[in-house]
């Protein structure tokens, strides 16, 4: 992925063939349909937790992730753009009062955004001295280092967290007294 070619330049692009991009979308859509079909079938056989861990589901999730990356690469190579196509955004339900989170920001600070860095980590080989439980410790240390570097660089780090299994739910911890 070179950033030195015309697709990354300031000038508008001329003729761009959209067919490779549409083919990448079609491949991803086909995989998503296979995922839905498999998920419905697996869920009919097993409970939710077992279905989440079913090898067929995990294989299809991997395939969807790979095809999503291929779509990113296809768009990037053709257009020079860096599409954010994997972020999940839930809109508030109708009638829900939405809090203005900017009230918590120090004066002069612009709105904050949440960033994630994710890892899928497999068990170490049998007999290894480390375990998956040690991964969270590594991430916690790396998170502290990153937060320090960002703060030293002038960023306002409102919160940071290392989590296992799910992305952290910032501001949603009922045990956090500051959120009460």
Domain boundaries, the chain: 16-79, 102-174
What value, to the nearest 5°, has the Cα angle with vertex 170 and ends 51 and 52? 5
What value, to the nearest 5°, has the Cα angle with vertex 82 and ends 81 and 85? 120
Provide the mean pLDDT of the chain.
83
DSSP for 31-90?
Answer: HHHHHHHHHHHHHHHS-HHHHHT-HHHHHHHHHHHHHHHHHHHHHHHHH------S---P
Q: pLDDT for 63-84, tens place per residue?
A: 999 999 999 999 999 998 888 8
Q: What is the CA radius of gyration of the chain?
A: 21
Instruction: Give helix 19-45 / helix 55-79 axis angle, nearest 10°.
Output: 170
Q: pLDDT for 37-58, tens place per residue?
A: 999 999 999 999 899 999 999 9
Token output for 19: 């067919």
What's the whole-model pTM score? 0.54
Q: Which residue ranges of the chain lie beneath pLDDT 50?
A: 177-180
């Amino acid at each position: 992925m070179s950033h030195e070619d015309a697709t990354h330049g300031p000038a508008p692009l001329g003729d761009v063939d959209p067919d490779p991009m549409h083919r990448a979308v079609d491949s991803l859509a086909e995989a998503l349909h296979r995922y839905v079909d498999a998920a419905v079938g697996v869920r009919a056989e097993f409970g939710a937790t077992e279905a989440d861990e079913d090898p067929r589901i995990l294989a299809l999730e991997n395939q969807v992730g790979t095809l999503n990356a291929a779509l990113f690469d296809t768009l990037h190579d053709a257009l020079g753009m860096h599409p954010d196509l994997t972020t999940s955004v839930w809109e508030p339900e109708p009638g829900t009062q939405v809090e203005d989170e900017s009230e918590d920001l120090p004066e002069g600070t612009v709105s904050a955004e949440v960033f994630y860095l994710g890892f899928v980590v497999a068990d170490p080989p049998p007999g290894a001295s480390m375990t998956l439980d040690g991964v969270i410790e590594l991430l916690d240390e790396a998170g502290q280092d990153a937060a320090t570097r960002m703060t030293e660089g002038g960023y306002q780090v409102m919160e940071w967290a290392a989590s296992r299994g799910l992305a952290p739910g910032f501001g949603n911890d009922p045990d956090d007294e500051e959120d009460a």
